[in-house]
Structure 1
Amino acid sequence: MALIVQKYGGTSVGSIERIQAVAERVKRWRDQGDQVVVVVSAMSGETDRLIKLAKQLQERPEPRELDVLLSTGEQVTIALLSMALAAQGCPARSYTGAQVHILTDSAHNKARIRDIDAARVRADLEAGRVVVVAGFQGIDEQGDITTLGRGGSDTSAVAIAAALKANECQIYTDVDGVYTTDPRVEPKARKLDRITFEEMLEMASLGSKVLQIRSVEFAGKYRVPLRVLSSFGEGEGTLISFEDNDVEDAKISGIAFSRDEAKLTVLGVPDQPGVAHRILGPIAEANIEVDMIVQNVGADESTTDFTFTVHRNDYAPALDILKRTADELGARQVTGDASIVKISLVGVGMRSHAGIASRMFASLAKEGINIRMISTSEIKISVVVDEKYLELGVRTLHEAFGLDRPAA
């Protein structure tokens, strides 16, 4: 008997018919003797609908109240799925994040999980029930409802799997696995049978929408076997593994990209110790995540130009903060650009192969694509380019590195 945690995204539970199909799949697992915990998202479009309602009242909704509102989406799904399971003769019990004590910090709209009390879930599993848990949500120490940010149901599922020491965490979604890049941008994209945790972590952090980054972090940290599958068909999906013995052959595993980028630059900052902290400290205090950072020599030797990127949703508040900081520092000017994108090559094979960066830059230059910023790590190279070049850049690199061809 295995203990399986399954997660179903919004499109997988987007209608009564799809919820019934999920119930049938879950029942098959239980009927073969496995214990099953199901984590679900809100029905497709529901979270966007709730956000739209909130923004009709406040341009920037109060974070605490927005969490109270958004958490209702998953509550609808868990109740409907439990009913669907019961209708098929499969005993089930639904729980909100608070009811199973998914304890988080108090960072509303993007909270992080601190602890899970799995006792209630274990008791139901031992009693032969399927447990259905609302993803994307938790509760903080003050008893306030919190949400984990977009894609947070993935994190909920992996964290629950870790707490239960599950045999496998299966992420069911509207795609049948992890691809070399988004097939909607590059039709020649190929499904990967397996990918390492390192590569998946980079892909998630760089814009791949298949899994939320924190879910991959959890899975890697607690060694939770993770598999991405389609809820609309059969297949083995993509296994996210702990190691890959073929890294010598697989130079590049995939291309990730993010449309949600914005760039901020403060010009003419005094070039002195502590200036980077004085610029980024207020940004961090506002709970805004910074990605790429570049610091250059300014127009004269006594000043520097400081550039960094943030999520496009954080562009307006970050710009306001930066303008105030620039005034305090006596900087010359603040500029911003919310029409950029990031394209990244990812592969553990980069460690043992030289020349990948130069081939990437040459391929983009050949198509007349200018690189605005560059960032590298052991297994990834990221570039920022103008938004209009996203599709061309992805297709160019996919072909240049032969990602449309099956691995040997």
Structure 2
Amino acid sequence: MALLVQKYGGTSVADPDRIQNVARLVKRAVDEGHQVAVVVSAMAGTTNQLVNWVDEIDAGHFDPAEYDTVVAAGEQVTSGLLAIALNKQGVRARSFQGWQIPLLTEGGHAKARIGSIPADNLKRALDEGQVAVISGFQGISEAGRIATLGRGGSDTSAVAIAAVLGAERCDIYTDVDGVYTTDPRIHEKAQKIDRITYEEMLELASLGAKVLQTRSVAVAMQHRVRVQVLSSFEDKPGTLVVGEDEIMESNIVTGIAHSRDEAKITLAGVNDKPGVAAGIFGPLAEANINVDMIVQSVSSDGATTSMTFTVGKADLIRAKALLDSLKSSVGIERVDADGNVVKISVVGVGMRSHAGVAHTMFRTLSERGINIQAISTSEIKVSVLIASDYMELAIRSLHAAYGLDAS
């Protein structure tokens, strides 16, 4: 008998029929002799509707604590309905809201962090033979108010609960059957990955792969929680996210991710002197605008430089306006903005011990006539910025170049 945590996303619990299907999956695990805690998201579309109602009443001026009270309601409905469905199927179950566990949070509303999770109430229910059906995405703040963890927070709830319970595994049920070498909607030769390391999954999640939420992978890696991504609609194994020690030999490149959420800013004719970079990136940081890839080139006379960097596409207009306001004080001749770009990344822990990964990427793109506008690297990834018109060609070409195409 193992203790399992199962998490079901919004599409898996989208309506009463799907909730009853989830109850059957949970019952199967219980019938196999496992203790089961279940974490649920709101029914698909519910959170968006709740947010819209808040905006209709007081867009941009509402109390964040009351906002959390409203948007956390979706998970409460789902947990109650699933507990009802389980009891109807002969499985003893009870629902837990974040404050009943309690899942204690720190930080601000709508983006709270998990502080601690006293597990006594959950363990007592499990030891009594009940399934604990938990509302994801929510906890209770230091001030005793409902606090939410931000979009995708149910994944983080599930992994954190698996950690404090000492679960054998945390199964994340969604509408896809695992993690693929690239987006199968873009490239039909994408292959499902049987096992992937925490580090690789964290890079892929942060670079645009939307199968798992980035924070949940970080928590899993920190607490060594084995995570499986699988479909609630198909009865087959998914992808295991595990430590590197559980993988016999890693591929050089495990996957290729893309992000359409990037935008490029180029600063031309920037005074080349100490303090200029701080004068540019300091105000961006103060405005909570994240900067990613940075390229700088100095003019032949050494008097001026140009800088190219990326920001989130949602921040592009705000970032350009801020930089335009700095032109005279910092010494910037021109600010150009371009939202027609995409970031393509190759990821794999095998890069640590193999040379030539970047060269293969650059050569492959060059052979297809794709210009690279910016580059960033880490120990296990190489990312490039290209024009968005070439996204599919780049993904397909790189997938083949690294031997990832399904045979």
TM-score, scaled to structure 1: 0.91
What letter matches 1:359 in structure 2? Answer: T
Counterpart residue number, 2:389 = 388
**SS across alignment from 1:98:** helix
- Looking at structure 2, the residues matched to 350 and 113 of structure 1 have their Cα atoms a distance apart, in angstroms, of 33
- Looking at structure 2, the residues matched to 103 and 31 of structure 1 have their Cα atoms a distance apart, in angstroms, of 32
* Contact 1:268–1:299 (8 Å) recurs in 2: no
What letter matches 1:224 in structure 2? Answer: V
What letter matches 1:76 in structure 2? Answer: V
Counterpart residue number, 2:164 = 163
Structural mapping, 1:106-121, within 5 Å: 106-121=107-122
Please say which of residues 68-77 and 12-21 is displaced more in the overlay: 68-77
Counterpart residue number, 2:149 = 148
Structure 1 residues 280 and 105: CA distance shift in structure 2, 3 A: farther
What is the deviation of 1:85?
1.2
- Looking at structure 1, the residues matched to 39 and 392 of structure 2 have their Cα atoms a distance apart, in angstroms, of 34
Of 231, 246, 251, the match for 2:249 = 246
What is the deviation of 1:322?
3.7
- Looking at structure 2, the residues matched to 143 and 285 of structure 1 have their Cα atoms a distance apart, in angstroms, of 30
Please say which of residues 269-278 and 8-17 is displaced more in the overlay: 269-278
Please say which of residues 148-157 and 197-206 is displaced more in the overlay: 148-157
**SS across alignment from 1:142:** coil
* Contact 1:169–1:224 (8 Å) recurs in 2: yes
Structural mapping, 1:182-261, within 5 Å: 182-243=183-244, 244-247=247-250, 250-261=251-262
- Looking at structure 1, the residues matched to 316 and 377 of structure 2 have their Cα atoms a distance apart, in angstroms, of 23
* Contact 1:104–1:141 (8 Å) recurs in 2: yes
Structural mapping, 1:63-142, within 5 Å: 64=64, 65-142=66-143
Structure 1 residues 97 and 251: CA distance shift in structure 2, 3 A: same
Counterpart residue number, 1:24 = 24
Q: What's the C-alpha RMSD, in Å, of the aligned pairs?
A: 2.4
- Uncovered stretches (5+) of structure 2, i.e. residues with no partner: none
Please say which of residues 322-331 and 156-165 is displaced more in the overlay: 322-331
Q: How far does the alpha carbon of each residue in 1:336-376 deviate from its partner, in whole angstroms, 9 at most, with x for none?
A: 22222111111112222222212212222222222211111
What letter matches 1:305 in structure 2? Answer: S
Structural mapping, 1:365-380, within 5 Å: 365-380=366-381
What letter matches 1:230 in structure 2? Answer: S
What is the deviation of 1:56?
4.3
Counterpart residue number, 2:263 = 262
- Looking at structure 1, the residues matched to 326 and 67 of structure 2 have their Cα atoms a distance apart, in angstroms, of 29
Please say which of residues 305-314 and 337-346 is displaced more in the overlay: 305-314
- Looking at structure 2, the residues matched to 361 and 283 of structure 1 have their Cα atoms a distance apart, in angstroms, of 30
Structure 1 residues 281 and 174: CA distance shift in structure 2, 3 A: same
What is the deviation of 1:327?
5.2
Q: How far does the alpha carbon of each residue in 1:7-45 deviate from its partner, in whole angstroms, 9 at most, with x for none?
A: 111111111111001111112212332221111111112
Q: How far does the alpha carbon of each residue in 1:258-290 deviate from its partner, in whole angstroms, 9 at most, with x for none?
A: 111122344444434444344333433444433
Structure 1 residues 122 and 366: CA distance shift in structure 2, 3 A: same
**SS across alignment from 1:359:** helix
Structure 1 residues 385 and 51: CA distance shift in structure 2, 3 A: farther
Q: How far does the alpha carbon of each residue in 1:182-237 deviate from its partner, in whole angstroms, 9 at most, with x for none?
A: 11011111111111111111111111111111111111111111111111122221
**SS across alignment from 1:209:** coil
TM-score, scaled to structure 2: 0.91
Structure 1 residues 401 and 112: CA distance shift in structure 2, 3 A: same
- Uncovered stretches (5+) of structure 1, i.e. residues with no partner: none
**SS across alignment from 1:405:** coil
* Contact 1:63–1:109 (8 Å) recurs in 2: no
* Contact 1:261–1:309 (8 Å) recurs in 2: yes
What letter matches 1:192 in structure 2? Answer: I
What letter matches 2:94 in structure 1? Answer: R
Q: Is the counterpart of residue 360 in structure 1 residue 353 in structure 2?
A: no
Structure 1 residues 275 and 99: CA distance shift in structure 2, 3 A: farther
What letter matches 2:233 in structure 1? Answer: F
**SS across alignment from 1:308:** strand
Q: How far does the alpha carbon of each residue in 1:278-336 deviate from its partner, in whole angstroms, 9 at most, with x for none?
A: 43334334444332233332686344333332332333444444444555424333332
Q: Identity across aligned pairs (percent)?
A: 56
